[in-house]
Amino acid sequence: MSQRTFSIIKPDAVRKGHTGGILAEIEKAGFKIAAIKRQSISKDQAKGFYHVHSARPFFDGLTTFMSSGPIVLLVLEKENAIADLRKLMGATNPANAEEGTIRKKFASSIEENAIHGSDAEDTAAFEIGYWFAGYELL
């Protein structure tokens, strides 16, 4: 059965002109783009999105980085979308990312790692609802 996941093309990748390249990889892997928008987000919006990481030492840097420039917000659809997108993204730290993954190709560090993808069904539901209104998901 078709499943939805949430993804962000992060500010490093948008700044470097990799938006189209990353979208091409996503579509080539069989995902349907169910919703898409490019916007800049505030530090407070980033803090709310990443609230599960609020106690981590990298929280301040992460939320500053995510609000440092435009990002592309995506809802992606396919069978097994959550696990398949994580596989296509590669390891969080691009130094450990496998050949052929988006992070191997486009990411430069554990923070500037080009793309986010939901890690489970409950987080996907929270993340989609955080950034998209119901009328944008028809």
- The residue ranges that bind ligand CMP (CB under 6 A) are 53, 58, 62, 92, 110-111, 113, 116
Euclidean distance between CA atoms 105 and 120, whole angstroms: 24
Q: Retrieve residue 79's tokens.
A: 């069978």
- Residue number, 111 or 136, with CB nearest to ligand CMP: 111
Q: Catalytic: which of 18, 51, 53, 116?
A: 116
Determine phi and psi for 111, rounding to 5 degrees. -90, -50
Residue entry with tokens 């450990």: 96
Q: Is 116 a catalytic residue?
A: yes
- Residue number, 49 or 132, with CB nearest to ligand CMP: 49
Q: CB of residue 10 vs ligand CMP: minimum separation in angstroms?
A: 7
- Residue number, 29 or 110, with CB nearest to ligand CMP: 110
Angle in degrees, 0-180, between the axes of helices 81-89 and 19-28, rounded to the nearest 10: 130
Q: CB of residue 135 vs ligand CMP: minimum separation in angstroms?
A: 26
Number of residues in the chain: 138
Annotated active-site positions, please? 116
